[in-house]
Amino acid sequence: MFVRALPHLARYGILLVPILFVVTFVLIPLVQTLLHSFQHISVRGQAEGFAGLKNYQVLFQSPLFLQVAKNTLIYTTISVILCVVIAFLLSLLLEANSNGRGSRVLLISLFSPTIMPTIAAANIWLYFLTPRFGLVDRLLAWVGLGHENWLGHPGTALGALILLFVWKYAPYFTLFLLAGFQAIPPEVREAMRTEDPSGWYSFRRVILPMLAPMIAFVTTMALLYSVESVDPVYVMTQGGPNNGTNLVMFYLYQLGFNYFSWGPAAALSALLLVGLSTLSGLSLIVMERRAFHWQ
């Protein structure tokens, strides 16, 4: 009897390892963070009593937090829109020229920024934007324009971070949308060519609804990646100038490891968890309702 049960025990044993991993490194820290957001936390990270909503109150009363929230909203909105639109246009271009030789070369060249580590990409862009000696300033000087400290002004510095994000992730999302285009059944394509020679009506009424789930996935991933941006800020601007590029994840890092304000840091983590989960769920629900399900 025991020998017969061994295969079943082996299956459960295989499942036990990832379950323990998730519980130990995901669920327990998650619950602990939520609890710490309602507690007084010492500099050493030890709970020292119930604080209620005090940590959240401290967070929302901070002018710096409001500035960070504004920066993050601008950065995330522009980054996500540009990423999704550019990825969609690139995937459309690659799909239209899928049989051409240049499409493979273009696909490989587009994918190069994606495989580059974020730290390395940020350092490359930091060199590009260095005043006087950077590539951008040298090109401007070559056409007779003056030098510009791109990372020395809040507006241009935040714009540089947005361009870096789009440069790195738009090609990555292009692959997903291209896969969505290629998953459209051949009979649907043939029917569209027969009934709608111009292609615009079919594209708007058939192709876009069929791509809606993939667009929802890409939008959600772009949203999550943009909010998680911390490496480019750390390398290129350190949140400056005048906190003009201080984004929420870098601010969270500052709260925990610079100011040792573990309570407000836990409160901010809890807000991020709830906010991102809600936005991701709403994005998927809205786009799924508009999806076209091919039978």
Selection from 239, 196, 264 nearest residue 38 by Cα: 264
Residue 204 to residue 206: CA distance in whole angstroms = 6
In the chain, where the domains are located: 68-289
Residue 198 to residue 217: CA distance in whole angstroms = 29
Quote the pLDDT of residue 3.
47
| Alpha-carbon distances, residue 39 vs 35, 54, 119, 156, 168 (angstroms) | 7, 8, 35, 39, 39
Residue 293 scores a pLDDT above 60: no
Residue 251 to residue 70: CA distance in whole angstroms = 12
In contact, 266 and 37? CB cutoff 8 Å: yes
| Bond from prior residue into 241 cis (ω within 30 degrees of 0) | yes
Q: Residue 47, SS3?
A: strand
Task: Kindly state the tokens that stand for 230.
Answer: 């911390």
Q: Which tens digit of pLDDT belongs to each residue from 143-194? A: 777 678 889 998 899 999 999 999 999 999 999 999 888 887 877 777 766 6
Does this model's pTM top 0.85? My answer is yes
Quote the pLDDT of residue 148.
80
If you ran DSSP here, which 8-state letter would residue 77 be given?
Answer: H
Give the model's confidence band at 67: pLDDT under 50 very low, under 70 low, under 90 confident, else very high: very high
CA atoms lying within 13 Å on the CB side of residue 237: 31
Mean pLDDT lowest among 61-65, 81-85, 137-141, 171-175: 137-141
Q: What is the mean pLDDT of the segment spanning 13-33?
A: 86
Residue that is written with structure tokens 């730290």 in the block: 119
- Which CATH topology does 68-289 take? MetI-like fold (1.10.3720)
First-to-last C-alpha distance (Å) of the chain: 47
Q: Which tens digit of pLDDT belongs to each residue from 250-281? A: 999 999 999 889 999 999 999 999 998 888 88
Q: What is the mean pLDDT of the chain?
A: 85
If you ran DSSP here, which 8-state letter would residue 139 be given?
Answer: H
Q: Which tens digit of pLDDT belongs to each residue from 204-220? A: 777 888 888 888 889 99
Residue 114 scores a pLDDT above 90: no
Residue 7 scores a pLDDT above 80: no
